Amino acid sequence: MGNDIIYLNGQYLPLSDAKISVMDRGFLFGDGVYEVIPAYAGRLFRLENHLERLDNSLRSIRLVNPHSHEQWRDILSPLLQAGQDQSVYLQVTRGVAPKRDHAFPQTIIPTVFAMVSGINPYADHERGVKAVSMEDSRWKLCDTKAITLLANVLLRQAAVDQGCAEALLFKDGYLTEGAASNAFAVINGVLVTPPKTPAILPGITRDVILEIARNNNIPCSEQAIAKTDLNDASEIWVTSSTREIIPIVELDGGQIGDGKPGPLWQKFYRLFQDYKQSLR
């Protein structure tokens, strides 16, 4: 199917024909969750991990998953184009309610939507990108992949307004993650990333990076990172399904390392590509 074909509530439709009610609780309350899953050469990457995270997100918002993992695979697969690198966006909302009321409606038929788009994760890798640090203004359920993304949107836009690609977020002086990514730093030769807590999204790319590090005997650690610790960082990266691993070469106007993507990033870039290639 072409990129303009989407899935909505049991049907595959051209994007322009897809309609949902204005009474959908996703529209009125941001009452829903989502996933973004990369597909390399037409094959979904770590689908099980993404679907497990979807299960956790749905449990967190007290919504029953409308589909089994097998059904999800069957729904998403026809959207993919053979041999292409794409990303799948899927969203489940609490559905259409008869009236606007914060409390859940009695009858719930979730709205299920999925679409694909092309990915070009390495647009920025040669030079690296700039980031800016910001106070993490989000809520306490950041491990739920909720569609309610207004704080993330405002933080990311504030970064863009300052000529930066990403906002690095700090809570009580400690790094949480990026506005739409997880964060890593290389400090004293060790690859470090904040531990999984409700303050961060448990990124699937983050897990892959840690796996690659452990499989290659590269020192790594999941630990709290104070903002001041980043003064000693020789590299900082952000990771996500759509952008893979992006090196940050400038934070708050100050150069990181020698202002170019660092040697460990170069190594991980190759290891990550090799790993993807091995799945083709």
Task: Tell me how far apart the terminal alpha carbons of the chain are, to the nearest angstrom.
Answer: 20
Query: How far is residue 18 from each of residues 2, 65, 114, measured CA to CA in Å?
Result: 15, 22, 11
**E-assigned strands of the chain?**
5-8, 11-14, 32-40, 43-44, 86-93, 111-118, 129-135, 166-171, 174-178, 182-187, 190-193, 220-222, 233-240, 244-251, 254-255
In single-letter form, the type of residue at position 41 comes to: A
Q: Please identify, using beta-carbon distances, which residue of 131 and 204 lies nearer to ligand PDD.
A: 204
- CB 243, min distance to ligand PDD, A: 7
- CB 61, min distance to ligand PDD, A: 16
- CB 175, min distance to ligand PDD, A: 12
Q: Please identify, using beta-carbon distances, which residue of 26 and 203 lies nearer to ligand PDD.
A: 203
Q: With the CA atoms of 65, 68, 70 and 71 taken in that order, what torsion angle do they form, in degrees rounded to the nearest 10?
A: -70
Give yes or no for a contact between 193 and 237, defined as CB atoms under 8 angstroms apart: no
Contacts of 257 by beta carbon, 8 Å cutoff, 6+ apart = 233, 234, 235, 249
Active centre residues (catalytic): 145
- CB 178, min distance to ligand PDD, A: 6
- Contact positions toward ligand PDD, by CB under 6 A? 36, 152, 177, 180-182, 201, 203-206, 239-242
Q: Please identify, using beta-carbon distances, which residue of 97 and 152 lies nearer to ligand PDD.
A: 152
- CB 21, min distance to ligand PDD, A: 24
Q: What is the C-alpha separation between 91 and 52, in angstroms, rounded? A: 14
Q: Are strands 129-135 and 244-251 parallel, antiparallel or unpaired?
A: parallel
